[in-house]
Amino acid sequence: MTGPSGGGAAPLGRDLDPDPFPLLASWIDDAAKTGPLALATALATSTSDGQPSVRMVLLKGAGPEGLVFYSDSSSRKGSELSANPRAALCLHWPALGRQLRVEGTVLELDPAASDRYFASRPRGSQLAAVVSHQSQTVARRSVLERGMEELAARLEAAPVPRPERWLGYRVVPSVIEFWCQRDNRLHDRWQYRRGQNGWSRQRLQP
């Protein structure tokens, strides 16, 4: 579905599937082939009184049940999601001329799912997740480096236990928007909204 360089992606026409997830899966599959960080995702959260914040996370799964990422629940994003479990995601793929936006509610994954993914991570990343309390202040970097070294020595070859605060999150979409680059900035935008009777879709002006 990609177009030539500078010409944007193939247009999105009226023959779109009434279910947004086949197209979402196709786009993510295409993007994943473009590089190791293609699924880096801007995640926006906000406090209970509406103060927003945004940062990059890695998308680790997507399907009809939602879009999945993992993080430290004691971090700023984790605290905000606990107080206000709604979020927005944005993925931008310039090489494909595409952008994907998602809005929805956020659920915590069950501990078994978090255990499975944590066990699949590189050991260094596991050790760092134990030692680093994300978003908290630290006097100097050497404190973290020494903590990792001490933890690695203490565990030796034993598995690294997942910290209880390290969780998986699922964004359950209520809005999904597909954007395709077109000439003269007259881009294609189609928005899907979830209602009581399923999904509706409409074309938006660029």
Per-residue pLDDT at 1 exceeds 60: no
- CATH number of the structural domain spanning residue 51: 2.30.110.10
Report yes or no on 79 lying in a domain.
yes
Count Cβ neighbours within 10 Å for each residue of 16-35 and write b for 16 or more, e otherwise.
eeeebbebbeebbebbeeee
Report yes or no on 88 lying in a domain.
yes
Cβ contact 77:119 at 8 Å:
no
Q: Looking at the annotation, which residues are catalytic?
A: 185
Report yes or no on 49 lying in a domain.
yes
Q: Work out whether strand 52-58 and strand 166-180 pair parallel, antiparallel, or are unpaired.
A: unpaired
Average pLDDT of the segment spanning 80-92: 98
State the pLDDT at residue 15: 74
Per-residue pLDDT at 51 exceeds 70: yes
Q: Work out whether strand 52-58 and strand 198-204 pair parallel, antiparallel, or are unpaired.
A: unpaired
Q: How many domains is the chain built from? A: 1
Q: Give the three-class secondary structure for 44.
A: strand
- Can you give the residue range of the structural domain that contains 38? 21-123+164-204
Instruction: Give the integer Cα–Cα distance in Å for 198 and 26.
Output: 21
Per-residue pLDDT at 13 exceeds 80: no
Each residue's pLDDT tens digit, 132-187: 999 999 999 999 999 999 999 999 999 999 999 999 999 999 999 999 999 999 99
Average pLDDT of the segment spanning 55-60: 97
Q: How confident is the prediction for the chain on average, in pLDDT?
A: 93
Report yes or no on 154 lying in a domain.
no
What is the pTM for the complete model shown?
A: 0.90
Instruction: Give the integer Cα–Cα distance in Å for 168 and 69.
Output: 6
Average pLDDT of the segment spanning 192-203: 95
Instruction: Give the integer Cα–Cα distance in Å for 89 and 92.
Output: 10
State the pLDDT at residue 7: 42
